[in-house]
Amino acid sequence: MINLFRVVLVCALFTCSVAVGALYAADKWPGVDEAVVNRIAREHGREDRPPLIPTAEGDLQLFMFLMAGTVGGFIAGYYWRVLLEGKKKRTDEGSTR
C-alpha cells in the first residue's frame, strides 16, 4: 500500500513538474540562439532565415525532438548493449579455454 502511494506520489510530482515547465518554458526559457546569437546579429543588420525544411512550426518541433531523442537514445542503448555483450563473450571464451 505504501509502495503504491509512493509510485502515485512520484508520478504526480513528475506530471506536475512537466505541466508547470510546459506552461512557462516557451516564454521564459529562450535558447541562447534567440537570446544571444539572433539578437546581436539583428543589431548588426543580419536576420536569420527560415530553415530549408520548416520543422519549427507548432508542436511539430516537439515531435521532431522527441523522435530524435528516441531514435538517438535507442541507437546509443543498442551499441551500449553490444559493447557489454562483447565483453561478456570475451569473458566466456576465456573461461572455456
Partner 1 sequence: MKFRRIILMSAVLPVLLLPSNSCAMHISEGILPFSWALFWFCASAPFLALGLRNLARRSEADLASKPLVGMVAAVVFVISCMPVPVPMAGTCSHPCGTGLAAVLLGPALGVVAAAVALLIQALFLSHGGLSTWGANLFSMGVMGSFAGYAVFRGLRLAGLGVVAAAFAAGLVADWATYAGTALIMAAGISGTSPFWPLAGKIALAFVPTQLPLGIVEGAITAGMVSLLRKKRPDLLVRTVLTGIGREQR
Site of interaction with partner 1 (CB under 8 A): 6, 9-11, 13-14, 17-18, 20-22, 25-26, 28-38, 40-41, 44-56, 61-62, 64-66, 68-69, 72-73, 75-76, 79-80, 82-84, 86-87
**Which of 20, 92 has the CB closer to partner 1?**
20
CA dist 5 and 71 (Å) reads: 33
**Which of 51, 95 has the CB closer to partner 1?**
51
**Which of 58, 96 has the CB closer to partner 1?**
58
Q: Nearest distance from residue 96's CB to partner 1, in Å? A: 19
Q: Which residues of 57-73 are buried (b: 16+ CB within 10 A; e: fewer)?
A: eeeeeeeeeeeeeeeee
Q: What angle do CA 16, 21, 25 make, to 5 degrees?
A: 165
CA dist 70 and 83 (Å) reads: 20
